[in-house]
Amino acid sequence: MGKKVLVVGQGGREHALVWKLSLSPQVEKIYAAPGNPGIGQIAECVDIGAEDIDKLAAFAREKGIDLTVVGPEAPLMQGIADIFKEKGLLLFGPSRAAARLEGSKAFTKNLLKKYGIPTASYEVFTDAEQALDWAEHYTNQGKKVVIKADGLAAGKGVVIAETFAQAREAIEDIMIKKTLGSAGDKVVIEEFLEGEEVSVFALSDGEDFVILGAAQDHKQVFDGDKGPNTGGMGAYVNPPLYDEKLAVKVREKIIAPVIAAMKEEGTPYAGVLYAGLMVRDGEPKVLEFNARFGDPEAQVLLPMIKDDIYTLLEKVARGELDGYVPQMEEGSCICVVLASGGYPGPYEKGKEITGLNNISPDTLLFHAGTALKDGKLVTNGGRVLNVVCRGQNIEECIDKVYKEVAKVSFAGMHYRRDIGYKALKRKGMKS
């Protein structure tokens, strides 16, 4: 009998996970809760929400699920790993206590400070007036500050303030007006770090870890990193910034120490550790940690893993990672996100999507915000589709992916036309 897997979530990241698991010779059946139309082509979608943990656990027990893989962060913060463990169900993802690395910025900053792991200087506040005083002190010196709601805020809890007026507005919104609810009970205010961002992904079983690689995301909605932040408009792997020297520093100064620190604190970390880093003059500092694969970073990272992904995730979940070194593909991989017009602000749904039948067989197409209506595929979210291409180098990937993007169409479709160009710039090439 082959393995049965349950993937929790419904976006592009989860479609990429389902696709990769479907390639495993060990896996016989994949369920996705709740899934999406693209996932439904290769797995059985189940009408259970990602945060309905009791129903998910009951389903996993009823179907004899061998491994549950959690995509989004919310169920992890709610303790899905702990509940499944209590019920004797194997799950890939950190415990609620360990997931605080993403769920509480104050917890993370205090941990980094305690164990000497490089990050921006900061203070934590529960009192708005004290927060305002500290922000004013810094901004009056002409320094930018970063204001972060302590808890999960769906990507909306971080404000970079160049003036005190901007800082005051952010602090009052978060702490007094409670625009982010309980996520704003505390705020972290930290110095603004200059440099270039990179995301590094490791898998840990609580004791041992492996680093899968690095990627660069493109958060802003418009070309040239302009406009408001989004969930991510595209990504690519193996950025030139992440050379061998930097990789060693990240391993020795950040990943290894934080895994050891979590074990020392009595909350061993088992799952994906996604480190968002700022690099300046070859030195990395932690901006944040996430407790799951990134989206859209997962869409470019998973195609680069040569190994049977089921084996890898199961080893993490069982605490058997010791000595295992996953093999990675050569070359590069890029993802361009096709978004609804108006995103990340208000946008319309229900726009018919055409052209998918023209996509080349070697191109990966991961659904994010799609739905079926009257037999037609339509838009159903801000980020709609992920177009993913592999190649021998980033130049080849960029050329391929934009030729494929041009084949897809829906009313108001928006995408960035400069995904991956940071790599070309660093390599001294013209975009």
| 403 in the same domain as 330 | yes
| 204 in the same domain as 171 | no
> How much is the pLDDT for 430?
42
> How much is the pLDDT for 97?
97
CATH of the domain at 293: 3.30.470.20
Q: Enumerate residues 6+ apart whose C-beta is below 8 A from 120.
A: 146, 190, 191, 192, 193, 278, 285, 287
> How much is the pLDDT for 155?
65
| 133 in the same domain as 20 | no
Coil, strand, or helix at residue 109?
helix
| 290 in the same domain as 159 | no
| 41 in the same domain as 146 | no
Would 18 be classed as within a structural domain?
A: yes
Distance CA 427, CA 339 (A): 29
Between vectors from CA 225 to CA 249 and to CA 121, what angle results, nearest 5°?
45
Which residue range forms the structural domain that includes residue 37? 3-96
Of 185, 214, 230, the one marking the end of a domain is 185
| 330 in the same domain as 211 | yes
Would 406 be classed as within a structural domain?
A: yes
| 275: β partners | 200, 289
> How much is the pLDDT for 167?
83
| 212 in the same domain as 143 | no
Would 104 be classed as within a structural domain?
A: no
| 399 in the same domain as 292 | yes
Task: Write out residues in the chain with pLDDT < 50, as ranges.
Answer: 429-431
Encoded tokens for 317:
């979940």
| 306 in the same domain as 381 | yes
> How much is the pLDDT for 132?
83
- For residue 146, the tally of other CB atoms under 10 A from its CB is 19
Amino acid sitting at position 194: E
| 397 in the same domain as 373 | yes
Would 276 be classed as within a structural domain?
A: yes
The count of structural domains within the chain is: 3
Would 105 be classed as within a structural domain?
A: no
Q: Which residue has the tokens 């190649």?
A: 391
| 267 in the same domain as 323 | yes
| 180 in the same domain as 161 | yes
